[in-house]
Amino acid sequence: MKDIFDKISASMGPLGRYADESKGYYMFPKLEGPIGNRMVFNGRERLIWSLNNYLGLANHPEVMAADADAAARFGMAYPMGARMMSGNSVYHEQLERDLADFIGTEDTILLNFGYQGVLSAIDALVDRHDIIVYDAESHACIIDGVRLHMGKRFVYTHNNIDNLEVQLQRATKLAEQTGGGIMVITEGVFGMSGSQGKLKEIVALKQKFNFRLFVDDAHGFGTMGATGAGTGEEQCCMDGIDVYFSTFAKSMAGIGAFIGADKNVVKYLRYNMRSQIFAKSLPMPMTIGAIKRLELLRTRPELKNNLWNIVNSLQNGLRDAGFNIGVTTTPVTPVLLNGTIPEATQLTRELREDFDIFCSIVVYPVVPKGVIMLRLIPTAVHTQADVDHTIKAFTVIKDKLASGAYPRDEFAAMNA
């Protein structure tokens, strides 16, 4: 009989296989110093484009003061236990009311973490008779939620409304047999490509099909819409979103998440989401800190304006310099190059060592073989000088890549 650990000695998994070469540099790098556009990596200050600190709240003095005050008053332990049992507080309830007022849903429920929250909400909302129809490029937390589902699921081609319609026809037929309902799941902003989910068109399909819509707007909350209330606001279809999710880990620069929905749905989630019933509630600094972050997000439009000035300047500058940045209509800025994994590792190193630019690099299997994606996340605390320097440096590495200057086979095995 095999030992369960035998497979670990055979393989560390698709990412773990690079562990020895990449630990501390490409994977698990340490970014040190105050969170911002410049941080220390490997002992030197670099320009950082890889943090989802969209509005620059992570290091905002009022946020830091709110976090510190709450920690001094309550420590990190209070309140103890799950919300339902012993872990509730007036601050948790206030934050839920503030969030509902802001996004315009009847109520909201706080979640300890976004990932488990999405998974657990999907689990609570569907039963074995129901059918899930979801976008093919959905975040891992949606995929894992779908994995938990005991009924049928249909996946539609990313953002392809015709294909969604086909899947809804199949789902409708099946639901008539099982006696269940249909839940469509998409993201508001897709975190890799920066494309927006076609929420308005999906909502319009409600005229033809009977389904509920679940939107994960992790990257849209705070960045999209006139007030920052997210991609539903941006596309003027918030009313058609039945379950609105966002995390606090991006624009809100914290930990935790929430779901907004009609009162009855939120009430049901409070009593049926296993990730909330069986886990400790958010500690006070996260809760009181989130109240402060939300206040700033709502009342300081200059933060979102700064963000979008940098987004526009970076994206227009890259396009003008001949870069392919795909189909983004949001702050997420992918720069798509053609090359092998050895070339990608080499040019990333050069960006870091010669130009002091730190950004995330995405390669196969997340993007197709032969594509290198450098993913930039502009924030409210970047400057025009940061943008100019980056476009210059990217132009140098793009030209070098095109001329074949980077070794294509240095780590040929890594590309196998």
Ligand X SMILES: Cc1ncc(COP(=O)(O)O)c(C=O)c1O
Q: Using CB under 6 A as the criterion, which residues of the chain lie in contact with ligand X when the complex forms?
A: 113-115, 118, 139, 141, 187, 191, 216, 218, 247, 249, 257
DSSP result, 146-190: HHH--S-EEEE-TT-HHHHHHHHHHHHHHHHHHT--EEEEEESB-
CA distance 102 to 282: 20
Alpha-carbon distances of 353 from 42, 116, 393, 398, rounded to whole Å: 10, 37, 11, 16
The CA-based angle 24-26-30, given to 5 degrees, is 40
How are beta strands 371-376 and 333-338 bridged, if at all? antiparallel
* Minimum separation from the CB atom of position 52 to ligand X (A): 7
* Minimum separation from the CB atom of position 82 to ligand X (A): 18
Nearer to ligand X, 46 or 250 (CB): 250
Strand locations in 217-272 (E): 243-247, 257-261
Strand locations in 248-312 (E): 257-261
Nearer to ligand X, 76 or 204 (CB): 76
The CA-based angle 82-257-188, given to 5 degrees, is 150
* Minimum separation from the CB atom of position 136 to ligand X (A): 14
Nearer to ligand X, 83 or 139 (CB): 139
* Minimum separation from the CB atom of position 142 to ligand X (A): 7
CA distance 18 to 58: 31
* Minimum separation from the CB atom of position 28 to ligand X (A): 17
* Minimum separation from the CB atom of position 5 to ligand X (A): 28
* Minimum separation from the CB atom of position 265 to ligand X (A): 19
Alpha-carbon distances of 391 from 51, 309, 337, 356, 397, rounded to whole Å: 18, 16, 14, 13, 10
Nearer to ligand X, 196 or 345 (CB): 196
DSSP result, 321-343: TT-B-TT--SS-EEEEEE--HHH
* Minimum separation from the CB atom of position 209 to ligand X (A): 24
User: What tokens appear for 326 in the block?
Assistant: 């795909």
Nearer to ligand X, 310 or 332 (CB): 332
CA distance 179 to 197: 29
Nearer to ligand X, 117 or 180 (CB): 117
The dihedral region occupied by 404, where left means phi > 0, alpha psi between -120 and 50, and beta the remainder, is: left
Nearer to ligand X, 246 or 415 (CB): 246
* Minimum separation from the CB atom of position 288 to ligand X (A): 18
Nearer to ligand X, 49 or 323 (CB): 49
| Residue 325: HSE in the Cβ half-sphere, 13 Å Cα cutoff | 26
